[in-house]
């Protein structure tokens, strides 16, 4: 099937996109031009998209690009050379324009782009070798929105800074208004994206992103989490944690209830999938929105007594989805009877095996040489020093390393669900140092089970000599080879696809019966 070719892609950090960017998207939408938004955050702060951007995505005026799917566009507009360098491989464009608010450094000058200064001050400071646009890329305004209140004062403004001025500069790149969308698809021009149905996914970002990446095309995921942006190119909303707010439990639950209610009203999802404990605020939001299909994504290794048992009897959520757990036999959570109504899938990992870089490519991207390499996914200088003493080159990084796992001969990590299952599934020799400060996740039980199964080494007391002994053992090539062979004997597949298919089936049935 031929991939959609969008008219214009805007590359920006949409958490801070102003009215000018929103006005460009609206002008393109009114001219029946399709717009793709390519989000590249400039930092890791867990902030939501700007309200104007969320409104445009909700109303179908633009489509959010996915990180796992390369895009083809006629014109790429990058809001800064730093963003272009970080995301250019995601977008194939016939023409590229870099909008600059200050003159770029000499090293930031790719030759195959046009440079668009925002004003004459920047234009005068641009290096001589830059290929400049004829017109400045000034910020446009939505003059029509204020036309009734101010008739005459905005006529000149519309000619110089309104939607038509933006369409004229697009025409310089061969992109002209269609006025109305074509009745049938034609190449290379696309049909503007049809309105999509939404699934709101609340809680743990990695598992939810894994499922979101595999949802049927008719379902558009929105991820709401307390953590930093999970990536994947999905629209993300922020729900602050109780600790971040410094709030009492009662106040935080009220905020949680109101925030969920707002997100349901804003995005109008058919399904809300919650990967979190059933806090009082969540339960109240569920009961206040009976027209929505609510799914509880129940984690394994939640100890009993965390308030989850009675939820499984169907008193609140419509359905229960249970991601698989390699250490399920060590789980003292819900009983077999309590699990009877849950839909179970294999353990969920963000990526499939074919999405990992091969060892040579991964090492090249990370700047590693031919020496043994270790990944440390926790903060402990003792681990780094011990491994370096054994001749390892060490990378310390907790997030964003899934694609690079094959670069490493050894990983030292906690025993959280995500890292645990992807390291076992992809056969990476692992030393597990379980966190003991999370009462909602039995990492110790998970680590002990892996050690007993011979697929990883567990360190139960990191403050003792046990940690050093485990690292010394894992540093031996013969021991790592044994761990790798044992992992290769595992048979679990990625349950994310099955979970996404199941959610898609729920949505289809819900639509047929009219919600």
pLDDT tens digit sequence for 37-80: 999 988 888 788 888 898 888 888 899 998 878 889 999 999 98
pLDDT at 475 over 60: yes
> Which residues lie across from 319 on neighbouring strands?
295
Which H/E stretch holds residue 488? helix 477-488
Is 162 found in the same domain as 216?
Answer: no
pLDDT band at 153 (very low <50, low <70, confident <90, very high): very low
> Which of 96-110, 133-147, 183-197 is predicted least confidently?
183-197
pLDDT at 145 over 50: no
Q: Is residue 181 part of a domain?
A: no
Half-sphere exposure of 315 (CA within 13 A, CB side): 10
Is 468 found in the same domain as 388?
Answer: yes
Of 175-184, 283-292, 304-313, highest mean pLDDT: 283-292
> Which of 101-115, 325-339, 378-392, 413-427 is predicted least confidently?
325-339
pLDDT at 302 over 80: no
Query: Can you tell me whether residue 312 is helix, strand or coil?
Result: helix
Q: Is residue 185 part of a domain?
A: no
Torsion over CA of 502, 508, 513 and 515, rounded to 10 degrees? Answer: 90
Last residue of a domain, one of 108, 136, 171: 171
Provide the number of structural domains found in the chain. Answer: 3
Which H/E stretch holds residue 207? helix 205-212
Average model confidence (pLDDT) across the chain: 84
Is 331 found in the same domain as 372?
Answer: no
Predicted pLDDT of residue 5: 85
Q: Is residue 506 part of a domain?
A: yes
pLDDT band at 440 (very low <50, low <70, confident <90, very high): confident
- Is the CB of residue 414 less than 8 Å from the CB of residue 394? no
> Which residues lie across from 8 on neighbouring strands?
35, 75
Is 90 found in the same domain as 119?
Answer: yes
E-strand ranges in 279-372 read 293-297, 319-322, 343-344
Stretch 388-393: mean pLDDT: 97
> Which of 95-109, 244-258, 385-399 is predicted least confidently?
95-109
Half-sphere exposure of 225 (CA within 13 A, CB side): 22
pLDDT band at 187 (very low <50, low <70, confident <90, very high): very low
Q: Cα separation of 383 and 366, whole Å?
A: 20
pLDDT band at 398 (very low <50, low <70, confident <90, very high): confident
Stretch 449-457: mean pLDDT: 97
pLDDT band at 338 (very low <50, low <70, confident <90, very high): low
Q: Is residue 179 part of a domain?
A: no
Q: Cα separation of 252 and 227, whole Å?
A: 16
Tokens 């890791």 belong to residue: 44
Predicted pLDDT of residue 166: 86
Q: Is residue 442 part of a domain?
A: yes
pLDDT band at 193 (very low <50, low <70, confident <90, very high): low
Predicted pLDDT of residue 147: 38
pLDDT at 308 over 90: no
pLDDT at 395 over 70: yes
Tokens of 491: 């048979």
Is 145 found in the same domain as 213?
Answer: no
Quote the domain boundaries for residue 119.
5-171
- Is the CB of residue 273 less than 8 Å from the CB of residue 199? yes
Residue 254 sits in a domain whose CATH number is 3.40.50.2000
Q: Cα separation of 19 and 297, whole Å?
A: 37
Is 382 found in the same domain as 484?
Answer: yes
pLDDT at 2 over 50: no
Per-residue burial over 186-224, b if 16 or more Cβ lie within 10 Å, else e, is: eeebbebbeeebbbbbbbbbbbbbbbbbbbeeebbbbbb
Residues in CB range of 159: below 8 A, 6 or more apart:
165
| Beta strand 219-225 pairing with 197-203 | parallel
Tokens of 430: 């692992």
Stretch 220-227: mean pLDDT: 89
Percent of the chain at pLDDT > 90 equals 49
Is 377 found in the same domain as 472?
Answer: yes
Predicted pLDDT of residue 404: 93
Q: Is residue 191 part of a domain?
A: no
Is 153 found in the same domain as 12?
Answer: yes
More confident residue, 483 or 339: 483
Is 503 found in the same domain as 448?
Answer: no
Percent of the chain at pLDDT > 70 equals 85
Q: Is residue 404 part of a domain?
A: yes
Is 232 found in the same domain as 104?
Answer: no
Is 417 found in the same domain as 473?
Answer: yes
Last residue of a domain, one of 136, 171, 206: 171
pTM for the model stands at: 0.69
Predicted pLDDT of residue 460: 94
The total number of residues shown for the chain amounts to 515
E-strand ranges in 377-467 read 393-396, 410-413, 430-432, 457-458
Q: Cα separation of 341 and 508, whole Å?
A: 20
Q: Is residue 429 part of a domain?
A: yes
pLDDT at 214 over 70: yes
E-strand ranges in 183-301 read 197-203, 219-225, 235-238, 271-275, 293-297
Is 451 found in the same domain as 425?
Answer: yes
Predicted pLDDT of residue 123: 87
């Amino acid at each position: 099937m031929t991939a959609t070719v969008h008219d214009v892609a805007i590359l920006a950090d949409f958490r801070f996109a102003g009215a000018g960017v929103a006005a460009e998207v609206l002008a393109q939408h009114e001219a029946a031009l399709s717009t793709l938004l390519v989000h590249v955050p400039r930092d890791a702060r867990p902030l939501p998209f700007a309200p104007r951007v969320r409104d445009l995505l909700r109303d179908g005026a633009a489509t959010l690009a996915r990180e796992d799917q390369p895009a083809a566009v006629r014109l790429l507009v990058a809001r800064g050379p730093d963003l272009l360098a970080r995301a250019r491989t995601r977008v194939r464009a016939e023409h590229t324009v870099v909008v600059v608010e200050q003159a770029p450094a000499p090293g930031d000058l790719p030759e195959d782009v046009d440079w668009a200064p925002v004003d004459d001050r920047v234009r005068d400071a641009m290096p001589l070798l830059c290929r400049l646009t004829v017109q400045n890329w000034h910020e446009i305004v939505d003059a029509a929105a204020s036309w009734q209140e101010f008739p005459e004062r905005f006529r000149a403004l519309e000619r110089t800074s309104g939607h038509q001025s933006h369409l004229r500069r697009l025409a310089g790149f061969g992109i002209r208004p269609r006025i109305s969308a074509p009745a049938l698809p034609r190449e290379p021009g696309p049909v503007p994206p049809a309105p999509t149905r939404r699934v709101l996914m609340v809680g743990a970002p990695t598992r939810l992103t894994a499922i979101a990446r595999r949802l049927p095309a008719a379902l558009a995921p929105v991820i709401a989490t307390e953590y930093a942006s999970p990536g994947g190119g999905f629209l993300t909303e922020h729900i602050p944690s109780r600790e971040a707010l410094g709030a009492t439990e009662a106040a935080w639950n009220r905020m949680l209830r109101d925030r969920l209610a707002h997100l349901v009203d804003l995005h109008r999802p058919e399904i809300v999938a919650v990967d979190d404990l059933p806090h009082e605020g969540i339960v109240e939001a569920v009961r206040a929105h009976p027209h929505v299909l609510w799914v509880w994504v129940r984690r394994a290794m939640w100890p009993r007594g965390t308030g989850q048992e009675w939820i499984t009897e169907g008193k609140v959520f419509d359905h229960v989805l249970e991601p698989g757990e390699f250490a399920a036999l060590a789980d003292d959570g819900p009983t077999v009877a309590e699990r009877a109504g849950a839909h179970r899938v294999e353990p969920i990992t963000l990526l499939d095996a074919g999405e990992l870089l091969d060892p040579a490519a991964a090492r090249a991207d990370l700047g590693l040489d031919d020496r043994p390499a270790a990944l440390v996914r926790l903060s402990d200088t003792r681990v780094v020093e011990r491994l370096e003493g054994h001749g390892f080159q060490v990378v310390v990084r907790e997030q964003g390393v899934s694609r690079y796992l094959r670069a490493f001969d050894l990983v030292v990590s906690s025993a959280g669900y995500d890292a645990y299952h992807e390291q076992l599934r992809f056969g990476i020799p692992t030393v597990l140092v379980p966190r003991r400060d999370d009462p909602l996740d039995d990492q110790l039980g998970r680590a002990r089970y892996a050690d007993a199964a011979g697929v990883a080494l567990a360190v139960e007391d990191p403050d003792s000599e046990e940690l050093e002994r485990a690292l010394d053992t894992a540093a031996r090539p013969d021991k790592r080879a044994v761990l790798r062979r044992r992992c290769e004997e595992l048979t679990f597949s990625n349950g994310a696809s099955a979970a996404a298919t199941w959610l898609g089936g729920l949505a289809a049935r819900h639509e047929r019966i009219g919600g």
